[in-house]
């Protein structure tokens, strides 16, 4: 099947530049999350003098459109991740081995009701990301909880 990032970007009304397509390809091939610097070093083969600000800007634009996921790690560093599941869902992020797993639960309907009933406000968007140690990392018992 393969990912047609050119058309995916077009659908999102983003310019399908070679850099954006390359970033999407790198993230889509990677089962874990990557830092902007790691993404930059992988881009260097194709774009020799690509600077970190350019990488950051492209990642931010892609994350704003929702096609990639921004991970704000408890270590305060930023990472990015591509999920192949296009249904609405949330993520569990392992802070040790960098595994990302889908959480097929949202719970936002209840929060939305709460916001609309009690605050008389209107909810526009929401974010939920869960950080922790995955099953495999717990098994290795290298963590003291």
Site string for Zn ion, 11-30 (x = CB under 5 A): --------------------
- 108-127 footprint of Zn ion as x/- string (CB under 5 A): x-------------------
Stretches 9-17, 31-39, 71-79, 133-141: which one binds Zn ion (CB under 5 A)? 133-141
Among 99, 115, 129, 132, contact with Zn ion (rule: CB under 5 A): 99
**Is 18 strand, coil or helix?**
helix
Q: How many residues of this chain interact with Zn ion, rule: CB under 5 A? A: 11
Integer Cα distance of 1 and 7 in angstroms = 14
| Beta-carbon count within 10 A of 88 CB | 8
Sign of CA dihedral 8, 11, 12, 17: positive
Three-class SS of residue 84? coil
Euclidean distance between CA atoms 77 and 36, whole angstroms = 10
Q: Could you tell me the smallest distance in angstroms from the CB atom of residue 101 to Zn ion?
A: 8
Residues found near Zn ion in the complex (CB under 5 A): 83, 85, 94, 96-97, 99, 102, 106, 108, 134, 137
């Amino acid at each position: 099947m393969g990912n047609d990032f050119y058309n995916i970007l077009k659908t999102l009304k983003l310019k399908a530049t070679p850099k954006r397509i390359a970033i999407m390809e790198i993230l889509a091939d990677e089962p874990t999350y990557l830092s902007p610097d790691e993404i930059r070093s992988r881009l260097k083969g194709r774009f020799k003098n690509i600077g970190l600000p350019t990488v950051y800007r492209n990642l931010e634009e892609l994350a704003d459109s929702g096609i990639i996921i921004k991970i704000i790690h408890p270590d305060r560093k930023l990472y990015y991740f591509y999920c192949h599941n296009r249904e609405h869902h949330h993520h569990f992020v392992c802070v040790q081995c960098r595994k990302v797993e889908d959480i097929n639960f949202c719970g936002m309907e209840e929060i939305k009701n709460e916001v609309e009933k009690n605050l008389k406000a209107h909810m526009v968007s929401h974010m939920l990301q869960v950080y922790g140690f995955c099953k495999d990392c717990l098994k290795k018992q290298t963590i003291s909880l």
